[in-house]
Amino acid sequence: MSITNQTALQLAAQLRSGALRVSEVLDACYAQIEAAEPTVHGYISLCREDAYAFAAKVQARLDAGEARSALAGVPIAIKDLICTKGIPTTCASKMLEGFRPPYNATVIERLHAADLIPLGKTNMDEFAMGSTTETSAFGVTRNPHNPAHVPGGSSGGSAAVLAAGEAPIALGSDTGGSIRQPCAYCGVTGLKPTYGAVSRYGLIAYASSLDQIGPMGRCAADCAALFEIIAGRDEKDSSSMDFPAFSAAAALAGDLRGKRIGVPAEFLGEGLQPAVAKALREAAERFRALGATVEEFPLPMLAYAVPTYYIIACAEACSNLSRYDGIKYGHSAAGARDLLETYILSRSEGFGMEVKRRIMLGNFVLSSGYYDAYYKKALQAKRMLQQAYFKAFETYDMLLGPVAPTTAPKLGESLSDPLRMYLSDIYTVTVNLAGLPALALPCGTDENALPIGMQLIGKPFGESALFAAADAYQRTEDAPLGRL
């Protein structure tokens, strides 16, 4: 099998045994990048020189029999909102064009310590705001399964490069679905971890109470191995928590016998593409065959999911993005005559339409006359949603649902109708509002051969159970690899 068709764990095993050299794996990835990028455009920038320089050190350690992690020597793609020292980090925005962070995000430090090798930075929606990777200031990414369609967003670049064989594993971030939805659209696997499970230090903020960095890969086992490396408390992020001894090996040893899986009935309601509903029913059957019980239960709070999420996310975003003023951070307008003009022109020039829309919405819901009516209400709804989930977990070990109501839309369809785009986040955003972990994995294709994704939602810090279920499911597949 060619190098670019393999899972990260398969590559790591061959790197350890000496059957493959780290430079060979890098060569294969960069060759595939050159072949695929003219169509896919999943990367904003590459860091080839750094990658080969680091690879030499990793190879020396592997030659000495020292593998610093289960993924030692494996190349990785990084979403371009995670700070990488000396390497451009743009958030896909003109506002940060040319920014080279003076420090690494904690997850990057952990990747280095585990000997994973960053290949480059992947495209995304500007400041992670969007569901299609079309709001990037540096051009759209195309879905490798059909370039007329979007790859999803906001981590669309990371998902697309996995599907196109341009990287074996990747990091994304998920504020309201940005790991899971592009995984679903591109036919790969990804985890949105429990809030606090992974350090956000060095992750450029969108909505701080919802943002989480997570692993994306060709299968659940790869994601579990990467999650083990990045998870855990970091003293630089006070919202991070000690992960109660997560072990990928232990997680994958679990099975589904006797597990109770709940399907929120509202997840199967109006607006769901029939092919997605059918794929989900078939997946439920397979979980039953693996020994689980699967049944529907009501989750009426779902009706409030989208407005609650967009009020909270925009409120936090307008505050987080106020730092880009042309002076402290980011693009600075050349022609400004005074301080106020510097602010106005820099922000007008630096931010794209979708980001501006959300800053305006956020300021509106936080303004004195509307705070109680919108922001405070949204916080109350968020609490109720969380309680509804906790109640479900009194009965069920995990929940199953679609990731998105449809498969990947065509390029250009969503931007003309932002409300429709927001509504398509209905199944993913509640997980972030409730701080829960959720794992997205492929479960078939629609009539146009576009991938369909499902998600398993877990209890806080219940990642192990999700990985066990997803891995058991993927082992029953003929072709489990999320690679074209």
Catalogue the active-site residues: 79, 154, 178
Q: φ, ψ for residue 234 (rounded to 5)? A: -135, 125
Cβ nearer to ligand GLN, comparing 298 with 412: 412
Structure tokens at 178: 């940005």
Give DSSP secondary structure letters for 184-200.
HHHT-EEEEPPTTSB--
Of the pair 71, 314, the CB lying nearest ligand GLN is at 314
Q: Considering beta carbons, is residue 177 or 190 the nearer one to ligand GLN?
A: 177
Per DSSP, the residues of 295-324 read: EEE--GGGGGHHHHHHHHHHHHHHHHGGG-
Minimum Å gap between C-beta 129 and ligand GLN is 5
Near ligand GLN by CB under 6 A, which window of 102-110, 168-176, 222-230, 275-283?
A: 168-176
| Token reading at 186 | 């591109």
Residue of 30, 195, 206, 467 that binds ligand GLN (CB under 6 A) = 206
Closer of 292 and 361 to ligand GLN (Cβ): 361
**In this chain, which of 9, 78, 128, 219 binds ligand GLN, going by CB under 6 A?**
128
246 binds ligand GLN (CB under 6 A): no
- Residue pair 482/222 in contact by the 8 Å Cβ criterion: no
Burial of 116 (0-12, 13-18, 19+ CB in 10 A): buried
Q: CB neighbours (10 Å) of residue 295?
A: 12
Q: How far is CA 383 from the centre of its chain?
A: 24
- By rule CB under 6 A, what string of x and - marks binding of each residue 180-199 to ligand GLN? --------------------
Instruction: Determine the interface stretch with ligand GLN among 33-41, 157-165, 176-184, 245-253 (rule: CB under 6 A).
Output: 176-184
- Choosing from 134, 166, 174, 471, the residue that interacts with ligand GLN (CB under 6 A) is 174
Report in angstroms how near the CB of residue 71 gets to ligand GLN at its nearest: 25
Site string for ligand GLN, 53-72 (x = CB under 6 A): --------------------
Q: Does 7 bind ligand GLN (CB under 6 A)?
A: no
Interface with ligand GLN includes 316 (CB under 6 A)? no
Q: Which residue is nearest to ligand GLN (CB)?
A: 178
From 169-177, 273-281, 337-345, 360-368, span contacting ligand GLN (CB under 6 A): 169-177
Phi/psi of residue 159, each to 5°? -65, -40
CB of 337 to ligand GLN, least distance (A): 35
Could you say whether residue 176 binds ligand GLN (CB under 6 A)? Answer: yes
CB closer to ligand GLN, 62 vs 198: 198
Stretch that binds ligand GLN, among 42-50, 171-179, 230-238, 457-465 (CB under 6 A): 171-179
Q: Cα separation of 103 and 110, whole Å?
A: 13
Alpha-helical runs (H) found in 302-443: 305-320, 339-350, 353-366, 377-395, 418-423, 426-433
How far is CA 460 from each of CA 173, 192, 213, 437, 450, rounded to the nearest angstrom? Answer: 18, 11, 16, 6, 31
**Looking at 33, 58, 129, 204, which residue binds ligand GLN (CB under 6 A)?**
129
CA 280 to chain centre: 21
Q: How far does Cα 307 stand from its chain's mean position? A: 21
Site for ligand GLN contains 154 (CB under 6 A): yes
In 3D space, the residue among 376, 398, 378, 380 whose CA is nearest the CA of residue 389 turns out to be 398
* Span from 125-133, 280-288, 392-400, 412-420 in contact with ligand GLN (CB under 6 A): 125-133
By CB under 6 A, how many residues form the interface with ligand GLN? 13
Give the pairing type, strands 43-46 and 189-192.
unpaired
In terms of Cα–Cα distance, which of 267, 276, 334, 333 is closest to 294?
Answer: 267
Here's the x/- map for ligand GLN, 373-412, by CB under 6 A: it reads as ----------------------------------------
Residue 455 binds to ligand GLN (criterion: CB under 6 A): no
Q: Is 313 in the site for ligand GLN (CB under 6 A)?
A: yes
**What residues contact 359, with CB distance under 8 A and at least 6 apart?**
314, 317, 318, 321, 351
Q: What residues contact residue 268 under an 8 Å CB cut-off, 6+ apart?
A: 277, 280, 296, 401, 402
Exposure b/e, 394-414, CB count within 10 A at least 16 = b: eebbbbbbbbbbbbbbebeeb
- x-or-dash string of contact with ligand GLN, 273-312, rule CB under 6 A: ----------------------------------------
List of residues contacting ligand GLN (CB under 6 A)? 128-131, 154, 174-178, 206, 313, 425
